[in-house]
Chains A and B, each alone.
Chain A
Amino acid sequence: MSNQTRMKLILPVLLAGSGVFAQDEHGDPYEPVGSLTVSPVVVQPGVHPNMEWGIEYPEDIDDLVDVGDNDELTAKKDLTMKVRVAGVAFQSGNTQLNVAHWVRIGGSSANWELVFYGKSYHVNPAEIVLEREVPAGTRIDFAGRGRSSGGSWYSTRWTVYDMEEVIGLKNGDLVPDYAPAYNQGRIEDFLTQFISDDLHVILGPRDMIYLFELYSTTPGDYYFDMQDLVSVITFEDPALDPGDIGGSHLYANFIRQIQRDSGVEWDLTVDPAGASLSQEGVSTEGSFFQLWSIHTNLATEYLLDEQFVTSYTPNAVMAITTGDPYVPVPRTRVDQPFSVQVDVSGLLEPGADIPLAATQVALSHEVFLYPEGQHSPGGGDPDGTLIQQGYIEDNGESVLSYTVTNLPAGNLTSAEGEEVFTVSALEDFGVSATVLDSKRVQIWPMATGSVSGFDPAAYYEDVPPLTVTLSDLYPSSTTYLRTYPGGSQSNPGEVTIIPASYVVINDSIPQDRSIHLEDVDSYFTKEGPHTLEILHETPFGTDLLYSSSIRVDRTIEMTGSLNVSR
């Protein structure tokens, strides 16, 4: 049963709501996942099988990098770093000015790399302008600089020295109070998705955002808005090895071995990953091996895996395949297909002296809806809904394929939960029924999106500010607003993407966001109706979340008469 069996027992309640509220703090993966392999699984009583385990803990930015006094970063482990420029707002009057953004990886002996040079309209927030492997212990610095209309450079703002003109923030941090623009509501369109109503930063668990003031050097000054250049840094753990340190300091891990016949229970304290011989050995009726992780402050218990070892039962190994390559836990969306592979071995051919339990194993398929506002099954050991039950009589691989989720819900589009597949040896096989393997797949809902602030029936000389509301964005997704002249088309030709609307999510659970777009009129370039759409790119393809039309009428009509007199 080398799997990531889910059995979380106590769950923190998440704050539900729209994206304008500060996001709850959580890691990636959302909760610890782990596997325990005990081999061989078929042993004679008294044998000491080998145990191998690995646990992956929720990680957030604090587990990946140290933030220094100047907001420079130092990688705590080998990482992949991705840099995106979220926006530029640097101009003099109506004149857009150039800014430059550099990143230096490796401290003072390394070279600065120019990752962006241009004006506001050169920014593509979805574009990764720098991607680098960063070894553990490496210092990472950031710098920005603005250029005047005459070509001269303003002073450099960087993390080499302590200066208030550059700040690095993570999810939940407050925006700088010495930049009055935030308290005055003067927040650039491209920043609105990152700032909650109470002025906290909204980011993914492995993200940091850097805000630069490139002109003023006087904190508190009107022009000191810390929005001239904004970049988002995302860190990924390329190894994704179980046993990574991650948030391990918050957890204690145990393998509890339970002898089936005597009921004797024995604890072994274990590291996040390792291997060891079972000192207790396997009893006559077999032994259970359980891998537990417990939060040392909250006492939240996670049963990460369980395996039964005996001298009698057959064996089964399962795997689940989805369209999302996310590693810690198989996950997919309600409308997407997935398949379950079951590989059974050790079954005997039916015969006169062969008990039934030696010739078949049972398969069960349960589904669990997550309680509202939560992204896990809920407390205790919740009972699921049994969807399917069957028996396998042949050794070898069997496949179960599903075109969509099997969750039962009044509205499947917003259903959220998980499906658990379990293969067990039959009852009466010497002892009562026992799990041979169990696997789960997380099912996330379909995203929704809407745009408000305009009337599709009205005609606009100036397109008004728009508010984009996005809910249940897939944990790995890019969402944006686009417009094009004319009516809705399947493959339009003159598409304009509104850069400030880009929302890039790298998370462990679905996300909500809200964006306010003040200056959108310039994207509606022609007279007449325009189509306005929200697109949502996920590992499964590109979905249309919303479509409407905006009518633009900038023709000046003059009413009057011409009188000629002689």
Chain B
Amino acid sequence: MKTVVSYRILALLLAGAVYQAAGQAGGPVVRPLPTHGELARRQAERRIDPKIALEKDPKPMQKIRSDKTDSILKRSTILSFRGYWTFVPKEAVLHVPAHFRGRVGGPRQGRLLTWREFLAKNRAWLRVQPVTLANARGEEPLPEEEVRQHKTIGQVVVATCHGGPISVKPPKAPDPPEQKS
């Protein structure tokens, strides 16, 4: 029910009365925005606590983060199947049968699932190998019998610790026996 005819006369009478109230003198304190030059000058107005000893010539520090912040996916192995994928730390996959190589280490395809969700959907070809922290650090090798089984069960084997996938370092070489003189 909109008409396009201007109703200027009525509005002239009312607009002032209605909206002047919103703009009485003493309204908002309005300030012009500063220019680039003004901002550049004010950049020098830093106040640094004297407890902080600033370097006169800052040099980029060595990596101050863990050096592993670039991408968690690049530091992981991708497992994918039928439109879903997940990832586990590199070195967490202990064995991949030849016929499942297409599902391990390939591109991401479809939707990301958490490790537990992916495992629940793919138990037919995934096997979990619980390991201890000593196993993961390479301080204690996995039992030989279990390692042998990995090669015969025909499943992809993933190391887990307390339910979460974990990388497993190669067993460390035993320290050489001390020589007696």
Which residues of A are in contact with B by a Cβ distance under 8 Å?
7, 9, 89-97, 121-122, 124, 146, 181, 186, 188, 214-216, 223, 225, 227-228, 252, 254, 256, 258-259, 262-269, 279-281, 283, 288, 290, 292, 294-297, 299, 301, 303, 306, 308, 334-335, 342, 362-364, 380-381, 383, 386-394, 396, 398-406, 410-413, 422, 424, 427, 432-435, 446, 482, 484, 490-497, 499, 519, 521-523, 525, 533, 535, 537, 541-545
Q: Cα distance A225–B4 when bound, in Å?
A: 12
B28 at the interface (CB under 8 A from A): yes
Interface residues of B in 84-103 (CB under 8 A from A): 88-90, 92
Chain A residues contacting B27 (CB-CB under 8 Å) are: 491, 495
In-complex Cβ contact of A288 among B5, B66, B88 (8 A): B66
B61 at the interface (CB under 8 A from A): yes
B15 at the interface (CB under 8 A from A): yes
B152 at the interface (CB under 8 A from A): no
| Contact B26 A380, beta carbon cutoff 8 Å | no
| Contact B55 A389, beta carbon cutoff 8 Å | yes
Q: Cα distance A57–B45 when bound, in Å?
A: 36
In-complex Cβ contact of A121 among B15, B51, B165 (8 A): B15
Which residues of B are in contact with A by a Cβ distance under 8 Å?
1-12, 14-16, 18-20, 22-36, 39-40, 42-43, 45-49, 51-55, 58-66, 68-73, 75, 88-90, 92, 108, 111-116, 133, 136-138, 161-162, 164-169
Q: Knowing A297-B111, A387-B58, A400-B48 touch, does A413 contact B30 (C-beta < 8 A)?
A: no
| Contact B1 A214, beta carbon cutoff 8 Å | yes
Q: Knowing A494-B20, A519-B6 touch, does A399 contact B166 (C-beta < 8 A)?
A: no
In-complex Cβ contact of B72 among A146, A301, A427 (8 A): A301
Q: Cα distance A393–B51 when bound, in Å?
A: 7
Chain A residues contacting B29 (CB-CB under 8 Å) are: 541-542
Give the dominant DSSP class at B's interface.
Answer: loop
Closest chain-B Cβ to A413's Cβ sits at a distance in Å of 5
Chain A residues contacting B6 (CB-CB under 8 Å) are: 519, 521-522
Closest chain-A Cβ to B40's Cβ sits at a distance in Å of 6
| Contact A404 B66, beta carbon cutoff 8 Å | no
Closest chain-B Cβ to A465's Cβ sits at a distance in Å of 11
In-complex Cβ contact of A495 among B11, B24, B35, B165 (8 A): B24
Chain B residues contacting A97 (CB-CB under 8 Å) are: 1
Q: Cα distance A267–B161 when bound, in Å?
A: 9
